[in-house]
Structure 1
Amino acid sequence: MKIKTVFKFIIVISLSMPSALWAQKGTPEIAHSFFIAGPQFTGIIGESGDIVWDSKKTGARDGYVLKNGHVLICWSDEVREYNKNKEIIFSYKKSEPSMELGTALRLPNGNTMITESGTKPRIVEVDRKGKVIKSIALQPETDNIHMQTRMARKLKNGNYLVPHLLAFAVKEYQPDGTIVNTFSTDFEAFGGRKAETWPFTAIRSKNGNTLVTLTHGNSVVELDSQGNIIWEINNALYDENPLVDPCGAQRLPNGNTVIASYGAQEGIKIFEVDQDKNIVWTYNGYRAHHFQILTTNGKPIKGKPLK
């Protein structure tokens, strides 16, 4: 049985791109503003669908709005922090030509965590001047620099949660680089490794479960502490086939899950499902590699959604 899509209103704005209808669509109580890190646009979209802030640089991989209103963005070659005046007040550039930066996260102590893919893949923590304070070696099981890792996050216990695409694994590292847990994503029920269920974003919830997007597998799963699937969505549930290379994801405080379909060239680019897997909100504008929902109906999202 197909899961229903719950829509009752639509907000549309005109754009310069021909034959494009860029909109938010959802139930009457849902309208979001959000940050997008993507190949066409990197900035903030308002609840009415308008561009609120534009970095003027496309192709971002990760980023979010800090509590002080600054914006932290990761491109493959550089991480930048912009203040409210759009001035660059922090920058960290890759140290080797072949290297790719994959994600950036501002830590409570003010340092910034960044992933570096390359001949010696690692996580670094850098201070406000861009000096490397800590380095953690990663084990992605591949020399393919572009496919080594993506959305790594630091956990409250001080460990690091790191998705490794071609290893078909989400690994948890201690600060000394020791791997203490591994969740495999080459699920036999999904077709094994032929299904290319590469993990991209991994989010650890307060209950200890882990939400993982599975890119070319066009699925999103929630795993328990043993790595068992306890919740999942895939295109078999919907008429719209909204999952097209899902990359970024966010679990909202109300339990809903928002997902970016990075591979979608048309139609739905970001969508939200409730806990019963009903689609309750969609956005069909710019493609998103990653994103951050900022407000709902004018109210800021509580908590720390990207950690």
Structure 2
Amino acid sequence: MRRRGNDTLLVLLLAMLTTLARGEAPPSAVQTGTPRRVIAADSSTKTLAAVGPDGRVEWRLPCGPIHDLHLLPDGHLLYQDGWTRIVELDERRRPVWEYDATTNGNATRPVEVHAFERLPDGTTMVVESGPARIIEVDRAGVIRRTISLRVDAPSTHSDTRNARKTDTGTYLVAHEQDGVVREYDAAGSIVWEYDVPLFDRPKSKGHGPESFGDQVYSAVRLANGNTLIGTGNGHGVLEVTPGKEIVWRIGQHDLPGITLAWVTQVRRLPNGNTLLVNCHAGPDQPQIVEVTPTKDVAWTFRDFTTFGNSLPVAIVATP
């Protein structure tokens, strides 16, 4: 038995030496299920990076605080480098456009951006916490549209988290501090809202699994008209009908062997599964999880070498 163990160690050592000799970094990511490419960012490691299906880092860039991230149809990447700077990178990761949120009337007032999106007409939607507004700006940074937001508990850092413009032209906004998802029409009127429930559980401070609240992070309108919600420190995912009925839910401990903490971005995949980002859950937990409608875990991603415990955004290639 000792000989066999020594042989195994020797094989592992030789494999490591071969990798180093080739100048390759050892894999940093661990995936379960079908391996895939991931682009993600982490505020604690100040890193934006792409990790291949083999678990190796393809590229990395320094990155400031970040709460949103998009891969555009032309292969460009739209991300933020800090709370007020939005940057578009081309396929070679060269900046080709950027927007400074301290402009357009914000020079003398606090502002943070936690959501943005490239729209089909080429303008960019920017959601401003502090000024409490949505603006759509052109390539020159000129405002083409403004929508005022309702905020009951104003906070420059927490007025909003992610927001998305729907196919019907409305705006779904996750109001973190208020604990409410609000849908606005083009005139700024609220046409639908959903108060994220606490399920009779008391609020608890913190960021990890021990915390609890209704600090909602994201809301996405589904093809069936329902809304998919990442509940932030509510540790879960909700699918809600227009009539505000919960028709599907993932709770903190619903997934075998997985503990959910701050559930940030959520996405319904073409295969019907749901992708969720599990932030602040600790190094023993996956940072990204794919779940089937029956709550089976189809895929997970964990990389606490490239990233850390503050990974709120991710783009995952479908296999």
TM-score range, shorter chain: 0.7 to 0.9
Task: Give the one of 60, 66, 75 matched to 2:72.
Answer: 66
Give 1:240 deviation, angstroms: 2.6
**1:302 counterpart residue number:** none
Task: Give the one of 229, 237, 243 matched to 1:220.
Answer: 237
Change (3 A) 1:80 1:282: same
Give 1:58 deviation, angstroms: 3.8
Counterpart amino acid of residue 23 in structure 1: A
Using the alignment, how far apart are the partners of 2:27 and 2:317 within structure 1?
A: 23
Task: Give the one of 79, 82, 94 matched to 1:87.
Answer: 94
**1:101 counterpart residue number:** 113
Task: Give the one of 218, 222, 226 matched to 1:209.
Answer: 226
Q: Is the 8 A contact 1:24 1:281 kept in 2?
A: no
Give 1:169 deviation, angstroms: 0.9
Give 1:64 deviation, angstroms: 1.5
Using the alignment, how far apart are the partners of 1:219 and 1:146 within structure 2?
A: 22
Q: Is the 8 A contact 1:34 1:295 kept in 2?
A: no
**1:155 counterpart residue number:** 166
Q: Is the 8 A contact 2:216 2:234 kept in 1?
A: no
Give 1:160 deviation, angstroms: 0.3
* 1:284 and 2:291 correspond: no
Counterpart amino acid of residue 154 in structure 1: K
Tell me the SS of whatever aligns to 1:216.
coil
Give structure 1 stretches of 5+ with no counterpart. Answer: 1-12, 297-307
* 1:294 and 2:305 correspond: no
Using the alignment, how far apart are the partners of 1:25 and 1:293 within structure 2?
A: 12
Using the alignment, how far apart are the partners of 1:45 and 1:149 within structure 2?
A: 29
Tell me the SS of whatever aligns to 1:145.
coil
Task: Report the more deviating stretch, 150-159 or 93-102.
Answer: 93-102
Q: Is the 8 A contact 2:27 2:57 kept in 1?
A: no
TM-score w.r.t. length of structure 1? 0.84
Tell me the SS of whatever aligns to 1:217.
coil
Give 1:294 deviation, angstroms: 2.2
Q: Is the 8 A contact 1:249 1:290 kept in 2?
A: no
Task: Report the more deviating stretch, 239-248 or 74-83.
Answer: 239-248
* 1:135 and 2:142 correspond: no
Q: Is the 8 A contact 2:161 2:175 kept in 1?
A: yes
Task: Report the more deviating stretch, 226-235 or 286-295.
Answer: 286-295
Which protein is bigger by CA-based radius of gyration? Answer: 2
Task: Give the one of 223, 229, 247 matched to 2:246.
Answer: 229
Task: Give the one of 37, 42, 45 matched to 2:41.
Answer: 37
Counterpart amino acid of residue 217 in structure 1: G
TM-score w.r.t. length of structure 2? 0.81
Using the alignment, how far apart are the partners of 1:235 and 1:57 within structure 2?
A: 29
Q: Is the 8 A contact 2:29 2:56 kept in 1?
A: no
Using the alignment, how far apart are the partners of 2:132 and 2:223 within structure 1?
A: 28
Using the alignment, how far apart are the partners of 1:47 and 1:284 within structure 2?
A: 12
Give 1:22 deviation, angstroms: 4.0
Q: Once the two structures are superposed, what CA deviation does each residue of 1:217-256 show, in whole Å capped at 9, x if it has no partner?
A: 2111111111111111113323434311111122111011
Q: Once the two structures are superposed, what CA deviation does each residue of 1:195-223 show, in whole Å capped at 9, x if it has no partner?
A: 41221110110001111111112111111
Q: Is the 8 A contact 1:36 1:292 kept in 2?
A: yes
**2:8 counterpart residue number:** none
User: Percent identity over the alignment?
Assistant: 28
Between Structure 1 and Structure 2, the one with more strand by share is 1
CA RMSD, aligned part only? 2.2
Count the aligned residue pairs: 276
Give structure 2 stretches of 5+ with no counterpart. Answer: 1-15, 21-25, 205-211
Task: Give the one of 48, 53, 69 matched to 1:47.
Answer: 53
Change (3 A) 1:21 1:243: farther
Q: Is the 8 A contact 1:184 1:227 kept in 2?
A: no
Structure 1 residue ranges (4+ consecutive) displaced by more than 4 angstroms after TM superposition: 192-195
Give 1:126 deviation, angstroms: 0.6
